[in-house]
Structure formats: structure tokens, C-alpha cells
Structure 1
Amino acid sequence: MYYLTVLVTVSADSLVELERACTILEREGGGRGFQLIDAAYLQQEGLLSVAPIGINKLRYPMEVFGSFLANMFPFVSSQFSHRRGPLVGFDLVSKAPMFYDAWHKDLSNANMFVSGVSGSGKSYTVKMIVAHSILHDIQTAIVDWEGEYADLARSMGGIVVTIDYNSTNLMNPCEIEEEDYIDEHTGEKKKRVDINEKIDEMVNFTKYAASLTGTEQLKAAEIALIDRLWKQIYRDEFGFTEDANSLYETRRQMVGDKLQMRTRRKQPQFSDFYKLVVEEAENDTRFIDLRDRLKRITAGESLGLFDCQSKVSLSEAPIIVFDLSKLHENSDLRKLGQYVALEYIIESFIKKNPSQKKRVIVDEAQKALENREGTPAGEYAAVFLDNAFTRIRKRGGSACAASQQFSIFASNKYGASIIRNSDTKLLLKQNELDGPMLKELFGLADHELQRLYDAQQGEVRWDVNGEIVYSYYKATPWEHKLFNTRHVQAEEGA
């Protein structure tokens, strides 16, 4: 134990820069086993204390342990504070193992943002986190744009849901599931159906689907119609209510000496909605354009892959991958598939078994926005993604957005919202052109930006609720083959 006073002088070329530097120091400096005290009204004593002669005129001694001293500086921590959770790397300075608990009591949410340029090791890092999470009973669902995670899932006992026209895996975005929840008062596990939330999401889905054809914003009358028709479908035509029993044909009951299991009712699908739009357009010419724009989403049309009844069974596998790579690169169908897969994951994965820790990863999260900045389609896709992260967060899950094109994702206000509202942020090597945006969103100093520009492959800057750590990970030979390529040693029987 030591009696210690650390004196820091902050300098800048202007008052604005000085205030900004002081704000960063105050925000990132405290809370690591020591406290910050500014030398208000003691500037002369402070100047004498930091002058070359080094006479401490301030005399603010504090009792500290040696480990506290090592953790004092906000730029690099000698040891990450989490003591439990998956191993996610080694501290770049101390070489100490780093464990990360996304559900740590000091974090307000388990959400995560990961960004790094191509070749920085972003996917490698995410795969490492996913693989190590299995040992801590964390289930992971992945929306996989490039098909990078399929081998990882198969080799570790997971399942892969391939999405294309030739697959038997069919997903219906209109499907609604009962939600498991724990009663706060009794502690009992119960079920409910959030009809209003599902209607809102289907309104957003329809707005996005319509925006894939044409660049005009939907009119107020069209949006009002979409909302009214989805309410009509769920509540009136299908008779669904907040009671979970409304999703089934019959309740479980004894028939003689046998227990009759209830059967699940048919779910709405997009063509049910489209038929109502067609009827409205026949009577009101204001809705002809909406009818024409939505036709592509119905069965048999170019984007009609998801106008169906679901035929996907999600097991208790540790990893579930929704592989979009078989759909045409950068096509509207693959972008729509990213949307549908995430909606399906929320309904059939996140809403089930609330006591289970779950993580949802959207790889290449910027793809739905790519080449659509400033268009209705880009806006609606970003709104959906932001809403999805909120829905996952409020149910205790961990939502992770991974992107190798930081500027596309962060320049959208909803993408920036996802970043700001994620307690955990991982930055690998960055593009210098993104410097101003990185500085704005993360409050990085110039030397921190330069460190990210010069970062070696696999080096990660962790910001966990303000705790900054730089890490790396040295994989075993087997792990390296699993994380680094699509070739899986385990599939050879090794």
C-alpha cells in the first residue's frame, strides 16, 4: 500500500480544446480505484507542484494498492475488471487474461458493437467470442451475410439454417409467438402475446418492403392503411389476442383417458395482407401505387421467398446460424432476408426461455443500408435494426452489430443510436477517412485514433461502459483453423 498523489497538467492550443481534453480526462479517468480532484483556486500551487523542481504544494495524498496505480490511466488498463465470463483475449500491456461478462451488474445492457476494416480480424474476434461463450452456457444466433459462421456452428454442435429458394427452411416474418416471461411478483414462468408490438413490426416490415420498389416516401394515407390492415388481420381475421391460448386451435384437455394436445393455428402470411391491399386499391385509387410496389413480396414474385408458412425448427443448439450467402450478393432479396431472419430470431429465439443467456449477432449490419443512404429503404432498415436491438435488450438478451464499413453504419442516425446505446464497443483497425466520425462518437484523442489506424491484425480496443482495454488473442492451432477460414479441421475427423 502506498500514499500517493498524482499530478496531471492538461494543455491545449485553445480554450475549446482544453475544455474537451478536461472532459475526456474526467469521464475516463475516475472510477479505477482513485478519485479526480481539480486544483480549483490553487493554480499557483499546482504549477509549482508540476514544475521541474517537483515540490508537492497540493498535498492530496491517497492510500492506494499497487494494482490501483497500474489502472490509473484511462488509455490502457493493466487488468480488465471482469472476473467471470468467457475468455476474450489478453491485455496488450500486462498480458493478463481478459474475461468479459456481457451481463455484468455494472452494465446497463449486454449489447455490443464491433467494427474493423477488412482484414483487421473482426470476424476472427467475433468467432472467438462465440466459441468461448459456449463454455458459459450462452446461446448465440447469427444473421450471417457472407456464410462465414456455418462451419463454426457445425463443428461446435450448432445448426445452420440456409436461406434460399432451394432450401426446405422457410421463414414467415408474419408469424407471432407466445412469449415466456417470469412473473415479477410470484416468480412463476408464464406466457403472453404482445399483439401491439407485432403489429408495429409488421407495419415497419411493410414500409421497408414497399421502399425496395421505388424511391418515393410512403404517403400518410398509405401508412395509415398498412397499420389498419395489419390490426384487422391479427385481431379480427385470425382472432389473436394477448392470451397465448388464442394461438392454438384447442386447449390441452382430457378426452376419455387420453390427453389431447392443442394444435397450433395457421399463421398469417404476407399474401393475406396483400389481398386486402388489392381490395382497397380497387375502391380507392390512392392505394394503387402501394399495391403495385408490394406485389414483388408475394409468393412467386422476385421477393416472394418469405410469403409462406414457417418450416424451421430451432433446437437447443449452442449456435444457430441463418446463412444468407446463397442469395444473390447485395440483392434486395438478401437485404430483405437479413430483416426476416432477425425478426424470426426475436420471435422464436429471444422470446423463449427467459432464464437462458442469449446473444444475437448481425454480421455486416451495414449491408441493408449500403448504397441506400438517404433513401426510404435505408431509413426503414435502420429503424428496424434499432428497434430490434431495443426489443432484444429489454428481454435481457445481448444484441451485437458487426460492421467493416463504419462510416455507412455510423452516419445513419439509427446506426449511431445503436452504437451509443451499446455498453460494449470493440474497435479494431480503422480507416483514417473515418477519423472525424470516430472522434465524435467515441470521444477519441488524436493519439488514440492513430493507434487504431496503426493497429495490428487482431488488436482490439475494448470500451466497456467507459473502461478502456487493448487486447489481443493467441488462438490454438485448432482454433485458428476454425476462426480464420471456412475449412474446418473437425470435419476431417481430426
Structure 2
Amino acid sequence: MRIPRKSTTTDRAALSTGLAAAVAPASVEVMPRMLRVGDGYAATLVVTGYPAEVGPAWLEPLLSWPGRLDLALHIDPLPAPVAASRLRTQRARFESSRRADSGRGKLPDPAVEAAADDAADLAERLARGAAKLFRVGLYLTVHARTEDELLEACAQVKAAAASTLIEVQPATWRHLAGWTTTLPLATDSLQMRRTMDTAALAAAFPLASADLPAPLPGDPPTEGGVLYGVNSDSGGIVWWDRWAQENHNSVVLARSGAGKSYFVKLEILRNLYQGVQIAVIDPEDEYLRLADAVGGAVVRLGVAGVRVNPLDLPAGDTRPDVLTRRGLFLHTLTSVLLGQQPPPAERAALDRAILAVYRTAGITADPATHHRPAPLLRDLAATLDGDADPAARQLAVRLAPWIEGSFSDLFDGPTTTRPEGHMVVWSLRHLPDELRTVGTLLALDSIWRDVDTPGRARMATRRLVVVDEAWLLMRDGEGARFLCRMSKAARKRHAGLTVITQDVADVLGTDLGQAVVANAATQVLLKQAPQAIDAIGDAFGLTVGERRLLLAARTGQGLLISGTNRSSFEAISSDAEHLLCTTRPAEVAALDEEEADDL
């Protein structure tokens, strides 16, 4: 065995020299007002004036400045005897000034009075041990590629500091010392300090950041997640795992044309890579190109020959209350068809008719009978019409348009398709406006029956349900209740619900809409209209800066909120993803023309 020799001083010096050669810039040129470090420029600003009072995260305007900025905070604790002596001397000066002004008959100086009161309060807290004093130096080094960019960047940093009453001055002729002061060397070469107490210093911690927080020391590293975009403030990436949150729901609110569908399609595509099964309710055929590219299935409600029987029982579900659950959904569907909840007499008649129509079809609470063909909506109406109760006959008359009238095409036969696969899109484009709310509810019911079916294999599969233009359902009371119940129960089925809407009032203006938002651990806000920004700001607790961001945001730029964590981001995509997600008419027309030429 070979015994390694002991390292010598020469070896350590060589190692240190090699490390410095690897990380140090190629050259440093010192100028009066800046430094040239390698191929860039840098200037150091020294904080010389502080506000009289500071709040939590008072350094946030500087830390969130969208540029390269190194901030160094040097802290040196003062021994208690030295702190008490200096504070006593300072108080004596204040008292001397006050007595001198009083002796000359001058009015008291408000600044001196305020400083004397603060000093007396600090002395009292220092004597009780409730506070300590520190010598603090705060320095900022701004980096840029050219001299002109550096001058502009320094002006922006000064403006950001002035917004919180912080005064900064350039370290003229001392920029080299300032630059080394802001390097991670724990050396303050400028020694321009200010005395602070514990409360003021603690308000600077934890240092705010424009990026989402990383795992705490000792916590296991995070796995999974998808790329949401690039942080527009810090330049870092925004990587988010909705499946690791308290629940898997999300809500996307934005005005028309802000990039809602584009962002959601990117999230869908990146979740498909991880084996997540996707179901989409698509009112405007915006997801068909994506579904075709990934081999998904499309159900076009409203097209001739496509029918959905709302009385179908879930296949493979052997729970004893399956029939009861189906009856409750038929009550919800009837309320949506009629536009309001029926009177108590009609609801009682409907409940009797539901049980009777299933008995006539040979279906009972026994799961062994659930494989038999389900009755149709017209059978339910015929049962109501044959009831001796006038309320039942009245309800049958009110359901006539969906049985044999203008809206009957969707219900006048057994279900024609039962889509399965890793992505299913329910298209509502061909439905008339009067039937879109009903179509959304039928699609959600079919999706939920698949999600809610018990079984270990199904529970092991993550499912994402996307409801685009959710205002179609939220404007109806019973439909909103169904969506609210789904948002609360999805997590227990290993599913997530994504609600997308451009009509903020329909979501935030009702208790049910607010419940849907409250049950979404992931909240995404894109560009907002000025008329809606106040409601959005109050509901999500947005700061003035965040409101300005949402008002001036570009397409695809917005804010990610999850509890106390929030980060601005801009959705980014590859060229291939862009072709699948874009909805710009000119680009879609060009793609359609290319596909036609290929055929």
C-alpha cells in the first residue's frame, strides 16, 4: 500500500493559485466610476441613507430588480457595554440640542425630537435585553455588458432604492474595494457602516427572492414537475409540480387573448410525458390538433349520430349506492335543462320516476343487474307523463324540448361512444349555445364516472381534467355546484382539476366560484382587464406591483401563486410545441394549408 505524502505549503499555494486562475476574471481594469471585469462592466453603490421605519422584506425592491445585481449585507455585532456607552453619548447630544434650543427661545426641532424619542426607546429595550445593536454595511454591485447599459442599470437601481426611501451613492474611486466587498469573501473593504437594532435587521430576513423557494436543508430533493416558463424578473426557470401540492387543482384566469389555452396546452403536453391521463372539455376545438398529434380520442358532441345517455350506469362500479348516485345526478341534470331547480312537488315526482324507470328496465340496487341496457331520457319522460300527479305531467311537458323537440338530437338514443385513452377531448363546438352548458355537464359526468370508479390500478394513475371556458358551467347554479364538488373530491381520486375562464365575475362573484378558487393549490393569473384588476387583486391579495404586472403583461406572461409562494413567469415552448399549441388564425391557417398540400 502506498502512503500519500503530507501536503506542504507549496502544494496548498499551488492549489490556491489554480483555483483562482479557474474562477477569477481574465482581467480587471479600474476606472474612477466603474470597473471593467473581464468582458463586462461593474459599479458599486453604497447605501448611505435608510428610512426611519422599515417593514418586513424591506430589501425586496432591490432583490427583485430584473438585472444582475450582487447585494452584500455585512453585519458586525456591537458588545453590550460599547452599545450602551455610544447610545448614552448620543442621547446626551440630543438632550443638549433640545436644551440649547429651548434656552434661545427656538421652537423644538421635530427631527431632533423624533430621534431623541427613538433613542430613549432603544435604550430601554437594550437595558431589558430585548434588543441588541449591530454595525451594518449594505453594498450593491451592478453588472452590465457595456458602459451605457451600466449607467442605465445604476439609474434603475437608484430609482428602486428611492422607492423605499433608501439613499445610495456610487463608490467613486473605490469600485475595486466595493466589488471585492460584494464577493463571497466575508470582507468589508469599504467599512461604511450604520448602527441598527435587532428589529430593523431582522426585517431584512429572510431575504425575499423573485424565484420560488428551494427545498429546505435536510428535506429530500423534489422530483417530478413540469416547466412552466422563465421567471421574467430573475431570468431563472419556473419548474412546478402540481402533484406535490396540498391538492392537484389549478385555476387559470385571464382576459381573452392572454394565452390561457396556449399555457394549458403546454402543461398538458408536458404532463403526458409523465404518464398522466388527460380529459379536456373544449368549447372551441382548440385542443384537436394536440389530441391528433398524441393519438388522443375526440368526442364531438352535437355532430349527427353522436349521442349521450345520461341514465347510463358506470361500467365496472359495483358499489351498492351506484343507483342512488345516478339518481342524484339526474336531479342536477334536470335543473340544468330547465334553467332552475324544479319546485318541491316536481322534484318528488322526478325521484319517483327515476326509480320506476330503472325498475322497468330490470335494474335495481343489485350490482348484478347493472349490466342491462339503461333506459333513455324519453323513457323517463314517459314515466312522468304516466304519473297521476299533475306535477309529474307538468315536469314532463317542461322536458319536451329535450325529448322530442329542437334539442333532442343529443339524447334520443343510447350512448354512441365511450372514449378511452391517455387523452380524450370533448368537443362542444357543434353544440348550439343553448346546449353548451348541458354538454359541459354531460362531459364532466362521463369523465367523473371514469375517475371515481374504484380500483387499485385506476387509483395509481394520475388524471388531469381540464375545463376550458368554465364560465359556461359556473353561470348555472347546479352546474357550479357539480364543479365545486368535483374540485373538493378530485384529490382523493388522484386527480387534478384545471378550471380556465376569461369571465372573472362568474368565478369570483359567487360563493361557489370562490370555493373552486380556494380549492386550487395552484393559481395562474395572466393578463387582466383594467375593469377586473380590482376584483382579482382583492381576491388574491396582489401587491401594487403585481397588479401593474398583470395589466401590462405580454401574451403568455403572468403570475404563479401557491399559498405564500408567488413568482412571475413567461410561458416558453419549443418550435414543435408551438405548432401544436398556437391558436393565432394566421398560423393555424398556414398549418391547415400545409396539411392539405401533404394530402
User: Does TM-score exceed 0.5, indicating one fold?
Assistant: yes
Deviates more, 1:128-137 or 1:431-440: 431-440
- 1:427-471 alpha-carbon deviations (Å, 9 max, x no partner): 001112113321332122233222211111111211123321211
Residue 250 of structure 2: aligned partner:
112
1:357 shift after superposition: 0.6
Q: Alpha carbon RMSD of aligned pairs, Å?
A: 3.4
Q: Tell me the percent identity.
A: 24
- Give 2:363's aligned amino acid: G
Aligned to 1:173: 310
- 1:387-402 alignment, distance < 5 Å: 387-402=485-500
Contact residue 311 and residue 330 of structure 2 kept, 8 A: yes
User: 1:142 and 2:265 equivalent?
Assistant: no
* Residue 272 of structure 1 pairs with residue 379 of structure 2: yes
Could you tell me which residue of structure 2 aligns to residue 206 of structure 1?
334
Task: Quote the Cα distance in structure 2 between the aligned partners of 1:418 and 1:58.
Answer: 42
Q: Which amino acid aligns with 2:54?
A: T
1:247 aligns with 2:370: yes
Q: Secondary structure at the match of 1:432?
A: coil
1:326 partnered with 2:430: yes
- State the alpha-carbon separation in 2 of the partners of residues 441 and 226 from structure 1: 39
Q: Are 2:236 and 1:96 aligned?
A: yes
Partner of residue 197 from structure 1, selected from 325, 345, 358: 325
Match of 2:401 among 296, 314, 324: 296
What is the number of residues matched between the two proteins? 407
Q: Does 1:421 align with 2:542?
A: no
Separation in 2, partners of 1:195, 1:410 = 34
Counting only pairs closer than 5 Å after superposition, residues 55-70 of structure 1 correspond to structure 2 as 55-58=195-198
Out of 45, 48, 54, the residue aligned to residue 9 of structure 1 is 54
For residues 316 and 235 of structure 2, the distance between their equivalents in structure 1, rounded to whole angstroms, comes to 43
Q: Distance in 1 between matches of 2:510 and 2:212?
A: 35
| 2:551 counterpart of 1:453 | yes
State which of 537, 560, 583 in structure 2 corresponds to 1:439.
537
Is residue 153 from structure 1 mapped to residue 276 from structure 2 by the alignment? Answer: no
Cα distance in 1 between the residues matched to 2:544 and 2:381: 53
The one of 345, 351, 358 equivalent to 2:447 is 345
**TM-score computed with the length of structure 1 as normaliser:** 0.73
Q: CA deviation digits over 1:369-422, x for unaligned, max 9? A: 55xxxxxxx222222222233343432211111001112222122112111111
AA aligned to 2:250 is M
Matched-pair contact (CA < 8 Å) for 1:296–1:304 = no
* Structure 1 counterpart of 2:263, from 110, 122, 125: 125
Q: Describe the shift of the 1:78–1:348 C-alpha distance in structure 2 as closer, same or farther (beyond 3 A).
A: closer
Q: Compute the displacement of 1:90 (Å).
A: 2.2
SS at match of 1:433: coil
Letter in 2 for 1:396: H
Q: Hey, what's the Cα distance between the residues in 1 that align with 2:246 and 2:315?
A: 26
1:392 touches 1:398 (CA, 8 Å); kept in 2?
yes
Spell out, residue by residue over 1:39-71, the C-alpha distance to the aligned partner (whole angstroms, 9 max, x if none).
Answer: xx9897889989988423217989x9xxx966x
Would you say the 8 A contact 1:80–1:98 is kept in 2?
no
Q: What residue identity is the alignment partner of 2:253? A: S
Distance 1:132 1:480 in 2: 13
The 8 Å contact of residues 111 and 424 in structure 1, kept in 2 or not, is answered as yes
Shift in Å, 1:10: 3.8
Moved more, 343-352 or 475-484: 343-352
**SS of residue paired to 1:218:** coil
Amino acid aligned to 1:276: T
Q: 2-side partners of 1:237 and 1:470: how far apart?
A: 56
Amino acid at match of 2:563: N
Cα distance in 2, alignment partners of residues 59 and 460 from structure 1: 34
> Residues 303 and 438 from structure 1, CA distance in 2 versus in 1: closer, same or farther, beyond 3 angstroms?
farther
* Structure of greater relative contact order (alpha carbons < 8 Å, 6+ residues apart): 1
The 3 A distance-change label for structure 1 pair 99 and 479 is same
For the residues of structure 2 that align with 1:332 and 1:179, how far apart are their CA atoms? 33
Q: Which whole-Å CA distance do the structure 2 matches of 1:386 and 1:230 have between them?
A: 25
Q: CA offsets per residue over residues 231-287 of structure 1, 9 Å max, x none?
A: 4444675433263x3323xxxxxxxxxxxxxxxx2013212221121122xx23234
Unaligned runs of 5+ in 1: 1-6, 12-40, 181-189, 249-264, 371-377
Determine if contact 1:170/1:306 at 8 Å carries over to the other structure. Answer: yes
Equivalent residues of 1:88, 1:99 under 8 A apart: yes
Residue among 329, 337, 355 paired with 2:460: 355
